[in-house]
Structure 1
Amino acid sequence: MGLGIAGRESIARRAASEVTSGMIVNLGIGIPSLVPNFLPDGMEVMLQAENGVLGIGGSPERGEEDELLCNAAGFPVSTVKGASYFDSALSFAMIRKGLIDITILGALQVSRTGDLANWLVPGKKVPGMGGAMELAQGAKKVVVVMSHTDQKGRPKLVESCSLPLTAASCADLIITEKAVISIDDGAFVLEELLNGTTIDDVIQTTDAEIRLGECFLKRGSVHGSIRKESH
């Protein structure tokens, strides 16, 4: 079962807290595109789109869209004061040079070592990898936002990705509707529980060993590394 709007918004809301004033931010399509709705009013950030816009604003009101102004997914956007436009070559030069402070991307799978697969499902037609490969390698911080399991209930946090990779060892933080999980020394680390989820629920829906973060160890919740039971 897919995420409802409430689940998608809860993920975007938590992801927005990773953004701080002064950052240059690139947002992927899907859940990442909801993040601007949860940024504090007055926060000075510059949202970049790889099709050549720096300074994206919120979604325009119906009837006020400019058909020539869109994000990388082709959806209408507005711009903020100081916005600039440039070609894709310059846009990707910014990304490859490491000028993007944080990118927030969707995913199909993430491995315990931070490998990211987010562009291809075998048997389905897709437009291609797009700019995700450069963003995953070039941004200073990579935050992945996604549902914890796929539509068939299979874990998306895995020992190793079975889908074609976008980039290897790139993910820094993963935010799902259930939890916030970091990656440290080749292992998933549970940092926060979201939306009333339990530790056991996260274990059972994660197909790899997961360690408890400091906040859980200080509470004495559970000790050591934990993994779901095999049946």
Structure 2
Amino acid sequence: MQKVAVLSPRQAADLIADDDVVTVSSSSALGCPDAVLRGIGERFAETSAPRNLTTVHPIAAGDMYGVKGIDHLAHPGLLGRVIVGSLPSGPSGATPPAIWRMVEREEVAAYNFPSGVLFQMHRAAAAHQPGVLTPVGLRTFVDPRLQGGRMNAATPADLVEVTEVADEQYLFFRALAPQVAVVRATTADEYGNLTFEDEGSPLGALDQAYAAKNNGGIVIAQVKRLAQGRTLPAQSVRVPGILVDAVVLAPEQTQTTATVFDPAIAGQVRRPVDSLPPLPFSVEKVVARRGALELSRGETVNLGFGVSALVPHVLVEEGEGTAVSWVLEQGAVGGVPLLDFAFGCAQSPDAIMQSADQFTLLQGGGFGHSLLSFLEIGPSGDVNVHHLPGRRHVTAGVGGFADITTGAPAIVFLGSFTAGRRRITVTEDGALDIVEDGPHTKLVRQVAGVTFSGALSRERGQRVLYITERCVLELRDEGLTVIELAPGVDIERHVLARSEVPLRVADDLTEMDRRLFLPGPVGLDLPELPRHGRLRAVLAR
């Protein structure tokens, strides 16, 4: 085995040629090889090279502000095409990140594909298979009969098509064969073996390295430190040195956007669940509490960003912090998923899987519930979570949403009923008081983009709930149906009149549990998840 080359970020950039496909491992700032990306941007500023790159970012292409990640590459001439799970969204009301402006101006072709599918497109390329056949994305904006995942008019429809096998429809995504993979780890030894001991997840680094190497390409690894050759424990090596060509040392790399290093995120220590700060009482907390009522003790549950991310912290406050095993698309299993810029990581996880492997569980529905957020809901129960209303072209991104909702047995969407400036409070006796409602309803005649097909979900037999601060809706064969109403809410004035969607009202309409609207603990008593039938039979003998 040859010793690996140790390069500066600027030297690593010289390994990239015009027209290369470059795959980059990151999830926001988690695992982001930011120093290498910055080096590529610096080389382009100096030399106007490399040009016309295609960059691939399976989950998220950098932190939300555009400070880290793809914005280093967001220069006309440097980028010709981007293929992403999501783009940095930018702070509300501020100038969008540079990559957004490029997409809006049609200066770059841009595709937004599901994260799990993107990882599988790498695996297909590594095994020299033609592509990925999957139900993920059917009847959503990823489907070529709608948008084909294209984010602007400059993007050709050439990476996904509809096909049929055994009378069933699938989407076919072509394999992605990169010339360069840029990944990040914690430690490299002199032979390029990589360990991820300080990382929140190894993400898809191995699959991206395989895809590049098996197609005659090169692998660049950004790491925090260099170790003597063959001193890393073999069981700890996640990417073997036989795949790695060059190492870039970046001792300053941060664990997440907001965290320099937290050993509990990396699974090196376990902190008590009650060490987490309590959630302040809010209307969003009320929504999260109602979502928690859908869960069972012992259940495996997937979690998305937004209001839904509060649910684990509600369970902690209720003394049920270890009742549910959370699975995040980034790879964490168990523990308590973290909030804000650390989302995607968990405090004290039981395991940290490769994100590419975690999607095998998620696409196949190997969990009980998925708790997700929404931007808009359409008449047939369609959900938009990827396309920011008011934006002409650009989307924040589908991420793993489509992978997860394809196979989930039960889906709970959590969010507010209206958008915009609003003042909604709770009275002392636990009634909702809508003092000033948001000017924009989220239940709209037509969603800006279809991330989730309500009609297809009904065909699959999934149970779907939409939980808001004022009511709970269920997707039924006859349409969106109000099944619970918050105390203090007038169904005509606050629900039916504030929806562009015709809503049905259940004959057995009930009041949402008033305890949810009071500041103190709710006293959640989660039911036990029944064991597998075969196991029950064995234990009963």
**TM bracket (short chain):** 0.7 to 0.9
Q: Give the structure 2 partner of residue 51 of structure 1.
A: 330
CA shift for structure 1 position 179: 0.4
Which whole-Å CA distance do the structure 1 matches of 2:397 and 2:480 have between them?
28
Q: Give the structure 2 partner of residue 224 of structure 1.
A: none
8 A Cα contact 1:112 1:186, kept in partner:
no
Map 1:92-171; keep pairs closer than 5 Å. Answer: 92-121=359-388, 122-123=391-392, 126-151=395-420, 153-161=439-447, 163-169=448-454, 170=457
What are structure 2's unaligned runs of at least 5 residues? 1-279, 421-437, 458-462, 511-541
Q: Give the structure 1 partner of residue 467 of structure 2.
A: 175
SS in 2 for 1:214: strand
CA shift for structure 1 position 209: 1.5
Which whole-Å CA distance do the structure 1 matches of 2:497 and 2:333 have between them?
41
Runs of 4 or more, structure 1, over 3 Å off, are 123-127
Q: Alpha carbons of 1:142 and 1:214: their partners in 2 closer, same or farther (altered >3 Å)?
A: same
SS in 1 for 2:504: strand
Cα shift readout 1:41-64 (whole Å, capped 9, x = no counterpart): 24621011100011032659xxxx
Q: Alpha carbons of 1:5 and 1:207: their partners in 2 closer, same or farther (altered >3 Å)?
A: farther
SS in 1 for 2:440: coil
Query: 1:38 aligned to 2:314?
Result: yes
8 A Cα contact 1:148 1:156, kept in partner:
yes
CA shift for structure 1 position 112: 2.9
CA shift for structure 1 position 87: 0.6
- The amino acid that maps onto 2:450 is L
Q: Alpha carbons of 1:154 and 1:186: their partners in 2 closer, same or farther (altered >3 Å)?
A: farther
SS in 1 for 2:380: coil
Q: Alpha carbons of 1:189 and 1:35: their partners in 2 closer, same or farther (altered >3 Å)?
A: same
8 A Cα contact 2:387 2:395, kept in partner:
yes
8 A Cα contact 1:95 1:139, kept in partner:
yes
Q: Give the structure 2 partner of residue 202 of structure 1.
A: 495
CA shift for structure 1 position 153: 1.8
Which whole-Å CA distance do the structure 2 matches of 1:29 and 1:22 have between them?
22
Q: Alpha carbons of 1:136 and 1:5: their partners in 2 closer, same or farther (altered >3 Å)?
A: farther
Cα shift readout 1:96-132 (whole Å, capped 9, x = no counterpart): 1111211111111112322111011124855521001
SS in 2 for 1:216: strand
8 A Cα contact 2:313 2:336, kept in partner:
no
Which whole-Å CA distance do the structure 2 matches of 1:156 and 1:150 have between them?
7
Higher RCO, Cα 8 Å, sep 6+: 1
SS in 1 for 2:446: coil
Taking only aligned residues, the RMSD between alpha carbons, in angstroms, comes to 2.5
TM-score of the superposed pair, with normalisation by structure 1? 0.78
Q: Give the structure 2 partner of residue 86 of structure 1.
A: 353
CA shift for structure 1 position 186: 4.5
Larger Rg: 2
8 A Cα contact 2:483 2:508, kept in partner:
yes
